[in-house]
Amino acid sequence: MSNSTDKQFRSLIRSGTERRKILLRTNIILLLALLTMIFIVPVIHSVDHHFTKVLLGIVVVSGLFAADFNKTAFRFLFILGAVVMLETMLSFFFFRSKYLADLTIILNILFFIVVTGALVTHVAMAKEVYGSTLICAINSYLLIGLTVSLLFVLMDIVNPESFTQVDSTKGSYSTFIYFGFVTLSTLGYGDITPDTPLARSFSIFTALFGQLYLVTIMAIIIGKLLNAKKTTE
């Protein structure tokens, strides 16, 4: 191997290592934001609605840098993120608009779908399993849960009869974050039940998708670990 080729090879290794470190840091931030969103919002939401929006903003910003996006995808996500942050600032300092808030939910859903797709692609395309790979897999599952939770919120806003035994605050983040993750994990306590054909169908889809995701992502990761073990032998 010539000196120039050797330098290029070492440079690629360094750049790959640095990129993994950056992905690890950004995904740790995203993971912390998601865990706070899932476990703290149900407690705080009834006291401070703005706290939920701030956390969603942190999830959006950290999601921008949590995976490798091409220029087109990054610009699309940046615009979505900017609109979400703008609505958050407007609701803080100027006014609150129901229609703008509903639009923000839709934009958040689109944003999380694209980021989740990028994270899953990163896990699937990784040649080896690193710490960043595992956290990407965890974050993508949590983002799926958050996405379906927001979709349930949207259903409840459009049709208040979609669910039974839901608190009087329609579009409650805390209620549907709970219901979304309980459905995704197929735990299903039954305290909140879908009451329309659309809500029931989407609940079934959520439960099936959650299980299929876990089976598929585990198979991918275990396969990569086994391949790495064979290579080293």
Token pair in block for residue 170: 């329609």
Q: Which amino acid is at 205?
A: F
Residue 112 is part of which domain span?
A: 17-232
The CATH number assigned to the domain holding 36 equals: 1.10.287.70
Number of domains in the chain: 1
Largest CA distance in the chain: 72
Q: Which of 200, 199, 178, 198 is nearest to 189 (CA)?
A: 178
Indicate whether 11 belongs to any domain: no
pLDDT at 45 over 60: no
pLDDT tens across 84-127, in order? 778 777 766 665 667 777 788 888 898 899 899 989 988 888 88
Calculate mean pLDDT across residues 29-43.
Answer: 85
The span from the CA of 207 to the CA of 186, in Å, is 5
- CB contact burial 26-40 (16+ within 10 A = b; e otherwise): bbbbbbebbeebbee
pLDDT at 63 over 80: yes
Mean pLDDT value across the chain: 80
How confident is the model at residue 231, as a pLDDT?
67
Token pair in block for residue 99: 């229609």
Indicate whether 170 belongs to any domain: yes
DSSP 188: -
Q: 9 falls in which pLDDT band (50, 70, 90)? A: very low
Lowest-confidence region among 23-37, 143-157, 164-178, 215-229: 164-178
Indicate whether 6 belongs to any domain: no
Q: Which amino acid is at 2?
A: S
